Amino acid sequence: MEFINEQNAVNGLADAIVKGGVCLFNAVKYIYSIAEESFYSVDIKDALKIVLNNIYDTDSLTALGLRLDNDSCREMTGEEYNRVLPLIVYSLAVRIPVLKNIKGDSGPMTDDQLYKVYQAVLAKGAENYDDTVTESFMEIKYLVRKGKKLPPYNADWFKTYIYTHVSSLSRITNKNMFLLGFADVLFAMFYSCLEEELFEKIKEFSADDFGEAVEI
Amino acid sequence: MEITFAVNGSNSFHKLEPAKAMLRFCEFDFTYFWEQCIEVGRNARKTGRISANMVNVALGALAKCHPYVNACIQTEFSSVVLDCIIAYICHSEGIGLEELWVRCISPKSLYEKDIFRRVSDYKTGRGINQWINIVRMQEYARSKMSFIYECDDNVMISRKEYRTRREYFDLAFLVAANETGCPMRELPSVKKYSPSLLPDGAFMLGRVSKNVYRRLSDVLSGAERFEERHLNDHNRDRTALDAFSYVKDMPRPGDMDMSFAVEAMSGIPEEVYVPDSFKAMIDLEFTVMYEEDIYLSKCPRCEKFFIRDIGEKSPYCNRVNSSGTTCAEMVNEELGIAAMKQPEKPRDNDKDRRHDIDIPDENKTKDENITEEKPEEQVFRELPIELERRCQKVYGLLYKRAGRIMSDREFREWSGYLSDMKRNFREGNAEADQIDEFLDYWENAAKSYAGKTSRFVKPKPMSAPVPEAYAAAIAAVNNAPLPEPELIPAPEFDSGEDDNEEQSGISPAGTETLPEERDFKPFTPPKYNTVLEAMMDGKYKSDELLSVSGGSAPEDLSEIKVKGRKIRLPEWERVTREDSDK
């Protein structure tokens, strides 16, 4: 695909993925805080609506009275949990080949372009700590090239990491069970929205005229 | 008689005159506040943010409705302007709160963000629409007042029966609440405290508290911090006595400290009420009115409530009406009775005038209030009949021009001012010249306004700059129609017949046409007796407004939509062991 400025496009897409990852990381914390004292006053569907409509900014969740502080998220304050952020970004980065599905007049993004975006995201701190994320860039690239159905983005790796590395969250408590329950829904829906946003970004950076006939 | 009360979030004492505050609240016209809110909304729509100055003006207008609202204007009612705007948007666009919330979920301006946050407060139970609350509270107060004080044939009933009516009304409410499953212990209530036992007493009596702290600083510096998060019936006493243990050996202060405390505490009331809600305050007022033998009665002529002395025979009020006289005076005139012949109680109705809700007495100083309680021997003067007629004449002149030369509200204030002047004259605190001077000024103002308006009565179309024949010829050559004559519009206010509120332009960005493209009309409130009545009319019902999905636009809310696209969970497939081996 031809971009107006390829370097800008690569950086812009990498930024969007990292921002999305940060937002998902914060959204998990915010929603987790519901279990502290807002369980009966905050509708989790409202929280999901806010997150999915503002995928680069989770500040709007404060409107529901949710706060990211040591009281409501004390189980998520350790160093081990902080590694979830680079893991989230990594898990999104390996799915970059999916961007090949959007095609302009000059065709889809080339493998080289996709790889540059992937490298840019890794350079911003994405990391597969302890090989927690089982998917890989090459695997997804292969599936996309072959036109095979991709497995849905899910929170399995997140739960695995929690069980094996974050003891405060792996205990059987009401709050922790709530976390493991909503994570499945949040991760899947969030990725769907992020993907849509990334397609929009590509259209923005592309030199092609997408007009009405956009093939996705 | 005044009630002293305190509210959460404020370290001040507030005062309220029962009956007087009640009458004012029940008859308070919220139209001006409503208009201000709509103006704030219009402005915010254009600028993208809510103007704090405009909000303060609107809050100032609302604060006058009741001392409780005034006391809580920066706390409980701080968002009432936004609440009013939200109610208006929902009303004018026929949408529910949920739809408004979704519209503002990705706010594009601070205004939309404020709306989003406020509606989120409603959704999470951290706030209610206080504008609707105030309007409903007015309806509640009116109902209770009518239930208790409205009597057949305007004959006052016994004290016992008034009490029974009040208790019956409250009990009916309680039964309804109980049967509908309300948590009874959480219903509005009032607590009565001695000032030094108030929850915020240490701050409210700061001067003395500091003195106490100085004496106890050594003991308290080494005290353990209280750790328990929640007090309950079991640990309340223990916790209080733990705190007391630090002062149990405290000797009585010396003479100096004691005299300082005496001086500091001399100005504070002996008892303070702390209502936890507006309804609690209203109920307290009714209770105190009964305890203090203050009774209301409905004037059969103007059908408004007024304070009636227990021995008062006449059922007519002493409220100055649009003709410049009181109902009592008018009835006396009609019956051919000399209006001012009341030898036993020379100007007893003047006492009632103090309760006239049109007179803004809230700001009167203590001294002024003291002067009202004059001994009965005081000599009252009659207002000369010529002066009385002149008052009526000027009143009539301004009454006809109310809404043009001055707003309705200003006219009411003016009317109250005139009543005050007349009363001052009767009490010997003013001279006829002063009233004359006052009347001269306003008569001239009214007449000069009438002169000015005559220029605008018949706007004439501008004549064409060339003779008609030439103009027609030029138009024919250019194949163009003759120019329309430009009209100079008369500076008249909206007649009030058009109540199409959809023209206001208040809505979140992106939901309507741009303000510049809209044809704004001055806001004209619909003709209703009460705002609640207006709200209950047609599609605009408070229940509907508070419901999740609104009334007219049912929507499947189980879906999560992002920019119109439904977001669903992926379709999970069940994979068997055999499938996975393939």
Higher pLDDT: B413 or B505? It is B413
Identify the closest residue of chain A to B564 by CA–CA distance.
Answer: A53
B121/A contact by beta carbon, under 8 A: yes
* Residue B77 one-letter amino acid: F
Q: Calculate mean pLDDT across residues A94-118.
A: 91
Pair type for strands B3-5 and A103-104: unpaired
Pick from B79, B82, B110, B124 the residue to mutate for testing the A interface (most A CBs within 10 Å): B124
Higher pLDDT: B521 or A148? It is A148
Cβ of B106 within 8 Å of Cβ of A53? The answer is: yes
Q: How far apart are CA B203 and CA B195, in angstroms?
A: 11
Identify the closest residue of chain B to A43 by CA–CA distance.
Answer: B124
Give the model confidence (pLDDT) of B527-562 as tens digits: 445 555 555 554 444 444 444 444 444 444 456 777
pLDDT at B333 over 90: no
Cβ-Cβ contacts under 8 Å between A and B: the total is: 56
B117/A contact by beta carbon, under 8 A: yes
Mean pLDDT check: name the lowest of A2-11, A185-194, B270-279, B484-493: B484-493
Cβ of B562 within 8 Å of Cβ of A53? The answer is: yes
Among residues A87, A117, A95, the alpha carbon closest in space to that of A24 is found at A87
Q: How far apart are CA B292 and CA B16, in angstroms?
A: 14
Sign of CA dihedral B237, B238, B239, B241: positive
A38/B contact by beta carbon, under 8 A: yes
Cβ of B560 within 8 Å of Cβ of A193? The answer is: no
Q: Which two tokens stand for residue A69?
A: 């502080």
Cβ of B105 within 8 Å of Cβ of A38? The answer is: no
Q: How far apart are CA B339 and CA B345, in angstroms?
A: 13
pLDDT score recorded for residue B72: 94
Which residues of chain A neighbour B568 with C-beta distances below 8 Å?
189
Q: How far apart are CA B151 and CA B155, in angstroms?
A: 6
B575/A contact by beta carbon, under 8 A: no
Q: What share of chain A is helix, strand, coil (3-state, %, to 5)?
A: 65, 5, 30
Residue with tokens 């590509």: A202
Q: Which two tokens stand for residue A43?
A: 């509708």
Nearest Cβ partner of B123 from A43, A53, A193? A43
Q: Calculate mean pLDDT across residues A10-36.
A: 94
Which residues of chain A neighbour B572 with C-beta distances below 8 Å?
152
pLDDT at B463 over 70: no
Identify the closest residue of chain B to A54 by CA–CA distance.
Answer: B106
pLDDT score recorded for residue B104: 94
The C-alpha angle A55, B117, A49, rounded to 5 degrees, equals 35
Q: How far apart are CA B233 and CA B193, in angstroms?
A: 19
Q: How far apart are CA A142 and CA A147, in angstroms?
A: 8
Nearest Cβ partner of A189 from B121, B569, B572? B569
Identify the closest residue of chain A to B105 by CA–CA distance.
Answer: A50
Residue with tokens 């002996």: B270
A59/B contact by beta carbon, under 8 A: no
Specify the 3-state DSSP secondary structure of B489: coil
Higher pLDDT: B496 or A146? It is A146
Cβ of A64 within 8 Å of Cβ of B124? The answer is: yes
Q: Tell me the ipTM for this assembly.
A: 0.87
Among residues B470, B433, B435, B448, the alpha carbon closest in space to that of B401 is found at B448
User: Distance from A46 to chain B by nearest Cα, in Å?
Assistant: 9
Mean model confidence pLDDT for chain A: 91
Cβ of A188 within 8 Å of Cβ of B570? The answer is: yes
* Residue A71: DSSP 8-state: T
Q: What pLDDT band is residue B468 in, cutting at 50, 70 and 90?
A: very low
Q: Calculate mean pLDDT across residues B12-25.
A: 93
Identify the closest residue of chain A to B113 by CA–CA distance.
Answer: A60
Cβ of B106 within 8 Å of Cβ of A38? The answer is: no
Give the model confidence (pLDDT) of B394-433 as tens digits: 887 877 777 677 777 777 778 777 877 777 777 677 778 7
E-state strands within B219-347: 272-275, 295-298, 305-308
Q: What pLDDT band is residue B154 in, cutting at 50, 70 and 90?
A: confident
B84 phi, psi to nearest 5 deg:
-65, -40
Q: Calculate mean pLDDT across residues B99-122.
A: 94
* Residue B407 one-letter amino acid: S
Domain limits of chain A?
Answer: 6-204
Pick from B97, B100, B105 the residue to mutate for testing the A interface (most A CBs within 10 Å): B105
Higher pLDDT: B304 or B171? It is B171
Q: How far apart are CA B42 and CA A92, in angstroms?
A: 43
Identify the helix (H) or strand (E) that includes residue B369. Answer: helix B366-372
Per cent of chain B over pLDDT 90 is 35
The C-alpha angle B261, B265, B267, rounded to 5 degrees, equals 145
Nearest Cβ partner of A53 from B105, B117, B126? B105
pLDDT score recorded for residue B492: 36
Pick from B112, B113, B120, B128 the residue to mutate for testing the A interface (most A CBs within 10 Å): B120
User: Distance from A123 to chain B by nearest Cα, in Å?
Assistant: 30
pLDDT at B86 over 60: yes
pLDDT score recorded for residue A216: 45
pLDDT score recorded for residue B409: 72
Cβ of B126 within 8 Å of Cβ of A54? The answer is: no
pLDDT score recorded for residue B561: 77
A42/B contact by beta carbon, under 8 A: yes
Q: Which two tokens stand for residue B497?
A: 């017949």
* Residue A152: DSSP 8-state: P
Residue B420 and residue B363 in contact, taking contact as beta carbons nearer than 8 Å: no
Q: How far apart are CA B112 and CA B94, in angstroms?
A: 18
B253/A contact by beta carbon, under 8 A: no
Residue B97 and residue B548 in contact, taking contact as beta carbons nearer than 8 Å: yes
Give the model confidence (pLDDT) of A34-50 as tens digits: 998 888 999 999 999 99
Which residues of chain A neighbour B574 with C-beta distances below 8 Å?
none
Pick from A44, A189, A197, A216 the residue to mutate for testing the B interface (most B CBs within 10 Å): A189
DSSP B532-555: HHHHHSTT--HHHHHSSS-SS---
**Cα separation values, B468 from A196, B346, B464, Å:** 66, 75, 7
Provide the 10 A C-beta neighbour count for residue B579.
9
* Residue B365 one-letter amino acid: T
Pick from B562, B572, B574 the residue to mutate for testing the A interface (most A CBs within 10 Å): B562
**Cα separation values, B316 from A71, A115, B300, B306, B324, Å:** 64, 90, 7, 9, 15
Per cent of chain B over pLDDT 70 is 69
Q: How far apart are CA B174 and CA B191, in angstroms?
A: 18
Q: How far apart are CA B328 and CA B134, in angstroms?
A: 32
Q: How far apart are the first and last CA of chain B?
A: 90
pLDDT score recorded for residue B444: 81
Sign of CA dihedral B151, B154, B160, B162: positive
Q: How far apart are CA B59 and CA B67, in angstroms?
A: 13
Residue B91 and residue B85 in contact, taking contact as beta carbons nearer than 8 Å: no
Provide the 10 A C-beta neighbour count for residue B333.
12
Q: What pLDDT band is residue B456 in, cutting at 50, 70 and 90?
A: very low
pLDDT at B580 over 70: no
pLDDT score recorded for residue B46: 92
Residue A72 and residue A26 in contact, taking contact as beta carbons nearer than 8 Å: no
Nearest Cβ partner of B116 from A41, A60, A154? A60
Which residues of chain A neighbour B579 with C-beta distances below 8 Å?
none
Residue B419 and residue B356 in contact, taking contact as beta carbons nearer than 8 Å: yes
Cβ of B105 within 8 Å of Cβ of A42? The answer is: no
Residue B61 and residue B4 in contact, taking contact as beta carbons nearer than 8 Å: no
Identify the closest residue of chain A to B110 by CA–CA distance.
Answer: A60
Burial class (CB in 10 A: 0-12, 13-18, 19+), A162: buried
Residue B564 and residue B533 in contact, taking contact as beta carbons nearer than 8 Å: no
pLDDT at B481 over 90: no
Cβ of A152 within 8 Å of Cβ of B570? The answer is: yes
Mean pLDDT check: name the lowest of B169-183, B370-384, B480-494, B529-543: B480-494
Cβ of A41 within 8 Å of Cβ of B125? The answer is: yes
pLDDT score recorded for residue B504: 43
B-proximal residues of A, 4-33, CB under 8 Å:
none
Pick from B567, B571, B575 the residue to mutate for testing the A interface (most A CBs within 10 Å): B567
User: Distance from A32 to chain B by nearest Cα, in Å?
Assistant: 16
